[in-house]
Amino acid sequence: MSSCGCGSLTQVQPAAPATLSTRITWRDVLGGWRVRWGIGRMSYRIAPGLYRIGQPDSKSPVLVTANYKLTVDAVRRELTGLNVWLLVLDTNGVNVWCAAGKGTFGSAELVRRVEATGLARVVEHRRLVLPQLGAVGVAAHEVKRATGFSVSYGPVRARDIPAYLAAGMRATPEMRRVSFGWKERMVLAPMELVPAWKPALGILAALVALDLVRHRELTPHLAADIVRFFGAILTGGVLVPLLLPWLPSRAFSVKGAVAGALWAAAAAWWLPTGAVEAAGAALLIMAITSYMALNFTGTTTFTTNAGARLEVRRSLAPILVAAGVGAILRVAAAFV
């Protein structure tokens, strides 16, 4: 670029960075709740680019994040009273860790965004602070080579950013560890329940049909089946995540089956039936809870790809057999 600042005609002059508030409104809270239930989750995003938090100057730190609005909200909420730049990458509205796994929160997008925003002219220093979980997609040494900016990986959680900055960009070991406490497991439970809705309608229709074919009217048998079934969904989608550390075995399918067996026992005690019906219901319940628990692997913070492959290979057949035998027993119990 020439010294007169006129540059080339093809280069788009970056717009002046907009200011982001650190206040979370009820609208943000409602929006976060909606996307947890899967409503409009993939269009919950903000425009990528450079934003101001407070009144940053050329010496202020530059924090980098993803353009999922839930992520941006989690970050800006923690920055109250700070003056920093926020560089938002285009991750197609996906959170930092998942986007880093896909490579959209990656070296190429970071280099592109640093250049597109003219960051080198906005700040005098040459340092970017990335969320630690972004490291899955970003190679710090490549970004340095391409842009001159060195990358510091900040804390895993946004709430540790003020302490990290105050300590001169030094993270404690605690800030670097990813946690998965019960609150973190529960906030994701709706995402386990939502995919269950469609198959649930099919199973509900089958239960109604069974009752109508057998008794020519709706009977208490149907009510018992519905209680057992929704109990199974809640066991797989809520109870398994909640009790995850205490359920036996490392295999999620086994954890799910154990939780399912507990619910089947409780249901059999609460809704006494014949042995065949109880056995059929128990097998169906365990198939549902085991499969839902298996799918929870992707939500956790410690599963490996090789392990999940092995578990899918070993558990899918037993789950399908349990579901098949359970269905046969449940139908047989109605007619014997």
Partner 1 sequence: MQYILNGHSLVLDPALCNGCGRCEEVCPHAVFSIVNRKALIARRGNCMECGACRMNCPPGAIQVSSGVGCAAAIIAGMRNKNAGCADACNCG
Binding site for partner 1 (CB under 8 A): 38, 41-42, 92-94, 98, 100-102, 132-133, 135-141, 153, 156, 171, 173, 176-178, 180, 244-245, 250-252, 294-295, 297-298, 300-312, 316
Q: Output 98 or 331, the one with its CB closest to partner 1.
A: 98
Angle at 207 between CA 38 and CA 329, to 5 degrees: 115
Q: Output 176 or 215, the one with its CB closest to partner 1.
A: 176
Asked if residues 126 and 150 have their Cβ atoms less than 8 Å apart, the reply is yes
Distance (Å, whole) CA 150 – CA 336: 73
Minimum CB–partner distance for residue 179 and partner 1 (Å):
9
Distance (Å, whole) CA 124 – CA 57: 9
Region for residue 39 given its phi and psi (left: phi exceeds 0; alpha: psi -120 to 50; beta: otherwise):
beta
Strand pairing of 84-89 and 150-153? Answer: unpaired
Q: Output 22 or 300, the one with its CB closest to partner 1.
A: 300
Q: Could you count the other beta carbons within 10 Å of the beta carbon of residue 217?
A: 8
Minimum CB–partner distance for residue 97 and partner 1 (Å):
8
Q: Output 95 or 235, the one with its CB closest to partner 1.
A: 95
Minimum CB–partner distance for residue 227 and partner 1 (Å):
27
Find, among 327, 334, 230, the residue nearest to 284 by Cα. Answer: 327
Q: Output 59 or 198, the one with its CB closest to partner 1.
A: 198
Phi/psi of residue 54, each to 5°?
70, -135
Minimum CB–partner distance for residue 115 and partner 1 (Å):
21
Minimum CB–partner distance for residue 54 and partner 1 (Å):
27
Minimum CB–partner distance for residue 80 and partner 1 (Å):
26
Q: Output 13 or 304, the one with its CB closest to partner 1.
A: 304
Minimum CB–partner distance for residue 100 and partner 1 (Å):
8
Find, among 192, 323, 193, 188, the residue nearest to 257 by Cα. Answer: 323
Q: Provide the CA 254 distance to its chain's centre, in angstroms.
A: 22
Find, among 155, 162, 158, the residue nearest to 72 by Cα. Answer: 158
Three-state DSSP string of 216-279? CCCCHHHHHHHHHHHHHHHHHHHHHHHHCCCCCCCCHHHHHHHHHHHHHHHHHHHCCCCHHHHH
Q: Output 5 or 173, the one with its CB closest to partner 1.
A: 173
Minimum CB–partner distance for residue 135 and partner 1 (Å):
4
Q: Output 225 or 311, the one with its CB closest to partner 1.
A: 311
Retrieve residue 311's tokens. 């578990």
